[in-house]
Amino acid sequence: MTADTPDADDETTSDRTAVATDGDLAEREHALRDREEPYARATVVRREPPVSANVGDRALVTANGDLHGWVGGAACAQSRVASEARAAIAEGEPRLIGLAPDPDDVDRPGLAAFPMMCHSEGTLEIFVEPMIPATRLLVVGDSPIARSLVTLATELDVEIAVVDPDAAAADLPDRATVISTLEPDEIADAVGAGPFVVVASMGEYDARGVAAGVLADAPYVGLVASDSRADEVVERAAGLLDRDPDAVREAVTNPAGVDISATTGPEIATSLLAELIDVRADSETTVASGSGSSGGSADGESTDAGDADATAEAPDSGGTDATDDSTSADERVTDPVCGMAVDPADSASVAHDGTTYYFCCHGCADSFRTDPDEYLATDEEAMESA
């Protein structure tokens, strides 16, 4: 069986010189996994020539939209795949996308169809699969609250580790592991970077648990303690770390858990788990948007991931005043041809009637340059209908 020959256009030739080999992609994927960074796999699953990509061609897309590999040229597929991969990472759900000169030709349930902007006008279907690192939960202590939390957490997709020098693996649910050391640096090394931490040893080794959470750069360190005891724990943890107590206090959530009027151990554990779920959702959205990690609520109130400023608002227009040089590299505008959100700092551009328009690729820029009124009229109609 003979594969179709890729289009020999300029874009294909220049793009293919930088294509990563399977070995390069495997090495990059291992590195992303080792750093526990979210990413997405993109694989070509169907093609109709003329297109430069073949079935089985693949790429990796990082959380900030960097694409490594080959799924077609910049005008044909790369910008759309990068955008859809970021959305898939943020939502944690795979998606199938289709690119065709007329999106209606491939549109069907389960597939998101988009226009193919490449001059070759072939068709591609690409499966995008987000790869999200497993969430790790570190529970410090053997109190009734700690035990209830471990039991409840086994119902979630999390890796659980318990700090308890007297516990044995047989005493815990199958999915939980035991960390028997009480040295903060050893605990942090054992659990890895960025775990969610709940400290509930009821005073036995709370300070060591808090110190371990700080060392592990935990996005959430919940401390089950009264206000007065929490202050004491923070001071002792700061002493163990030789750090400013105020900095340690900022990393700790106390009171921990959402307010559900909980009184029993299982009820308090439920409130803690609810807060963990909320903070995790907020943290994953923030990481997927390339903004770093976020911590939990410092006042014990329920956090609201829906209020997080992790996702930038969609830009209103693809154009900026041609005389305005103040556009930030972080601001995105809309490609008036294909609707992609693009960064003006490194995008193709066309000046028209005193306004500069930005594009995901030179293919879109050329289409606009040929007949700008066609795309501006479409944009105005969309604004009027809204």
DSSP secondary structure of 288-311:
HTTS------SSSSPP-GGG-TTS
Beta strands, E only, 166-214: 176-179, 196-199
- Residue 316 is predicted with a pLDDT of 38
Please answer whether residues 128 and 84 qualify as being in contact, where contact means their C-beta atoms are separated by less than 8 angstroms. yes
pLDDT digits (tens, 9 = 90+) for 322-379: 334 333 435 788 888 887 888 888 888 999 999 999 988 777 888 889 889 888 875 5
- Residue 16 is predicted with a pLDDT of 44
% pLDDT > 70, the chain: 79
- Residue 15 is predicted with a pLDDT of 43
Asked whether the bond before 50 is cis by omega within 30 degrees of 0, the reply is yes
User: Helix 265-288 crosses helix 144-153 at what angle (to 10 degrees)?
Assistant: 50
- Residue 84 is predicted with a pLDDT of 96
- Residue 286 is predicted with a pLDDT of 57
Which residue segments constitute the domains of the chain, with CATH numbers given?
10-131 (no CATH), 141-280 (3.40.50.720), 319-385 (no CATH)
pLDDT digits (tens, 9 = 90+) for 362-373: 778 888 898 898
- Output the DSSP codes for 230-272: HHHHHHHHHHHHT--HHHHHHHEESS-S--S---SHHHHHHHH
Strands 158-163 and 135-140: parallel
- Residue 377 is predicted with a pLDDT of 72
Low-confidence ranges of the chain (pLDDT < 70): 1-20, 75, 169-170, 284-330, 378-386
- Residue 379 is predicted with a pLDDT of 54
